[in-house]
Structure 1
Amino acid sequence: MPNLKEDFDSLVAKTSLSDSVDRRTFLKTTLGTGFAAAVMPVCAQTMIKTDTVGLTAGPLEVQANGLSVPIYRAQPEGKTNLPVVLVISEIFGVHEHIADIARRFAKLGYLAIAPDLFKRQGNPAAFASIAELQAAVISKVPDDQVLGDIDACVAWAKENGGNVDKLAITGFCWGGRITWLYAAHNPKVKAAAAWYGRLVGDKNELTPKQPVDIAATLKVPVLGLYGGKDDGIPQDTLAQMKAALAKGSSKCEFVVYPNSGHAFNADYRPSYVEADARDGWKRTLAWFKAHGVS
């Protein structure tokens, strides 16, 4: 496996959309749950593109509670007994950016799985605004369903070249919140990295707990990566989470990037902050390695 200190540029090749595909082609080549109009314009100068040389990568389906759940899988070609990382998307689904993150992990020797966790409720690409998407799809997705679908991905990984004794999870925004919850749900996870995932909020039948509610019983070490200028996740909510974690035994850490807002790792959006995204990536790899997932 490559040295985790290897320069980021050797893991992912940056190409602008104008150099590779135009915006229309780019949208058509996403994985079926592409970019909602709300995230446009694509930030063409910073879009990262990781190739599949040496990898087995592409869409598959996993059986979960009687349903075929689409996933994007990337892993080193011909290798087995691989550490496993689950890549949990934003509300916009498993589009090319999320697939690229899976390929970045695969280049480092991981079996990376990015599941489409909105399959039962709808297609995020069909909505023109975040408000419409939230109302029509995201608000109808039960946490129990999500956790069960991720369990099915872990089971699939175990049967397809993955070593689930070396299991990690990372997620972004909506997926960052799920990362916290899944770390509590599955104590076999060795390490987790939650990128700007919401920590507190309203609870209902579909979302009965927030990360702050599971903090005191959490056993899995979680790295939290947050933006200091993120208006949707105020710093006082991080303080609440830290206080709740202090009541338990989990060894969690937070990194706050003072110059970043929300979605600073989303290299296809204007919110992208290259320096902080690179630092967060390196910290994630080091966190996984320090907890035996490499």
Structure 2
Amino acid sequence: MPEMVTVPLADGGLIDVYVARPAGEPIGGLVLIHEIWGLVGHITDVADRFAAEGWLVAAPDILSHGGVAPALGEELFALMNSDDEETRTAAQPRMREALSGMRAPEYANWAVAALRATVDWLTEQPGVDDRIAATGFCFGGTYAFLIAAHDDRVRAVAPFYGTAPPADRIADISAPVLAVYGQRDPALIDALPAVTESMAEAGVEFTAVVYPDSAHAFFNDTGRRYNPTDAADAWERVTTFLRSHA
């Protein structure tokens, strides 16, 4: 059954974490990191889906600390995914203002520490042992890369359209990586050759899957870029990959 738990941080703070539990013994613990919209309904639904696959899933709310609570994230998502271009354009200044907190230099350090605290919590849960993996989407894909670089307890990582860290930080990744992209996502696709080269130089087991007909955020079935065919294929690839390394 899904639940919300409160996880303590090293700085004395707390974060809320959505937890989805499997029906039986977990195959491992999975850190699921949300998109730039925060811990919204789409992400809790994905957490439930991973739990049905056998994972004990912990999806921390790391964006409220940056100023975007889930209710605001849902509202911004609806505006930015409107079919009306004028509505999307008018919402952009509000979007930039709402996300200004997570662009502060100290935010990334806080977020990585919060994710490590989530890993701490997972390792303490019955049946998980040291079988820890991470995945995330967009903003969360970027942080999935980062938690793998900062915490060698993560044994597999599957970022969806995330920005990889710089080469010196890639060298700290010890887990195998399956990275998922849409070809119609120019910034990430243009950077992919250099990322692939850096991964190879660092000795990271890195696989990139690129879907020719998809754009950024193609996995989100509540958004206007959703591609059901590619999303289904990505789900099969990621669940198989994560299970094989649990």
TM-score greater than 0.5 by the shorter chain: yes
Q: Deviations over 1:204-235 (max 9, x none)?
A: xxxxxx344422342111101001001342x2
The Cα of 1:102 is off from its aligned counterpart by 0.6
- Name structure 2 gaps, 5 residues minimum: 77-90
**Counterpart selection for 2:114 from 149, 163, 179:** 149
Within-5 A mapping of 1:131-170:
131-135=96-100, 137-140=101-104, 142-170=107-135
Given that 2:102 and 2:108 are in contact with CA atoms closer than 8 Å, whether structure 1 keeps it comes out as no
User: Does 1:92 pair with 2:2?
Assistant: no
- Report the residue type matching 1:172 in the other structure: F
**Counterpart selection for 2:59 from 114, 120, 125:** 114
- Report the residue type matching 1:76 in the other structure: P
Q: Which residue of 2 aligns with 1:277?
A: 231
Q: Which residue of 2 aligns with 1:220?
A: 175
Give the CA RMSD over aligned residues. Answer: 1.8
Q: Tell me how far apart the structure 2 counterparts of residues 70 and 191 of structure 1 sit (CA, whole Å).
A: 24
The Cα of 1:138 is off from its aligned counterpart by 2.1
Q: Deviations over 1:28-83 (max 9, x none)?
A: xxxxxxxxxxxxxxxxxxxxxxxxxxxx2022211113112011000025x45551
Given that 1:172 and 1:197 are in contact with CA atoms closer than 8 Å, whether structure 2 keeps it comes out as yes
**Counterpart selection for 1:182 from 132, 147, 155:** 147
Task: Give 3-state SS (helix, strand or coil) of 1:246's partner.
Answer: helix
- Report the residue type matching 2:19 in the other structure: R
Structure 1 residues 167 and 243: CA distance shift in structure 2, 3 A: same
Task: Give 3-state SS (helix, strand or coil) of 2:103's partner.
Answer: helix
4+ runs deviating over 6 angstroms: none
Q: Deviations over 1:171-202 (max 9, x none)?
A: 00011111111111111211110000023xxx
Structure 1 residues 211 and 192: CA distance shift in structure 2, 3 A: farther
Q: Tell me how far apart the structure 1 counterparts of residues 127 and 222 of structure 2 sit (CA, whole Å).
A: 30
Given that 1:82 and 1:161 are in contact with CA atoms closer than 8 Å, whether structure 2 keeps it comes out as no
Q: Which residue of 1 aligns with 2:193?
A: 239
Identity %: 33
Structure 1 residues 121 and 215: CA distance shift in structure 2, 3 A: closer
Considering fraction of residues, name the structure with more helix: 2
**Counterpart selection for 1:171 from 127, 132, 136:** 136
Q: Which residue of 1 aligns with 2:16?
A: 70
- Report the residue type matching 1:177 in the other structure: T
Number of corresponding residues: 224
Structure 1 residues 211 and 177: CA distance shift in structure 2, 3 A: farther
Q: Tell me how far apart the structure 2 counterparts of residues 90 and 117 of structure 1 sit (CA, whole Å).
A: 10
Q: Tell me how far apart the structure 1 counterparts of residues 139 and 96 of structure 2 sit (CA, whole Å).
A: 14
Structure 1 residues 154 and 96: CA distance shift in structure 2, 3 A: same
Q: Tell me how far apart the structure 1 counterparts of residues 117 and 7 of structure 2 sit (CA, whole Å).
A: 7
Task: Give 3-state SS (helix, strand or coil) of 2:7's partner.
Answer: strand
Task: Give 3-state SS (helix, strand or coil) of 1:165's partner.
Answer: coil
Structure 1 residues 88 and 117: CA distance shift in structure 2, 3 A: same
Q: Tell me how far apart the structure 1 counterparts of residues 170 and 124 of structure 2 sit (CA, whole Å).
A: 31
Given that 1:180 and 1:211 are in contact with CA atoms closer than 8 Å, whether structure 2 keeps it comes out as no
Given that 1:222 and 1:253 are in contact with CA atoms closer than 8 Å, whether structure 2 keeps it comes out as yes
TM (norm. structure 1) is 0.71
**Counterpart selection for 1:194 from 159, 178, 182:** 159
Structure 1 residues 257 and 84: CA distance shift in structure 2, 3 A: same
- Name structure 1 gaps, 5 residues minimum: 1-55, 200-209
Q: Tell me how far apart the structure 2 counterparts of residues 274 and 171 of structure 1 sit (CA, whole Å).
A: 18
Task: Give 3-state SS (helix, strand or coil) of 2:201's partner.
Answer: coil
Q: Tell me how far apart the structure 1 counterparts of residues 115 and 127 of structure 2 sit (CA, whole Å).
A: 14
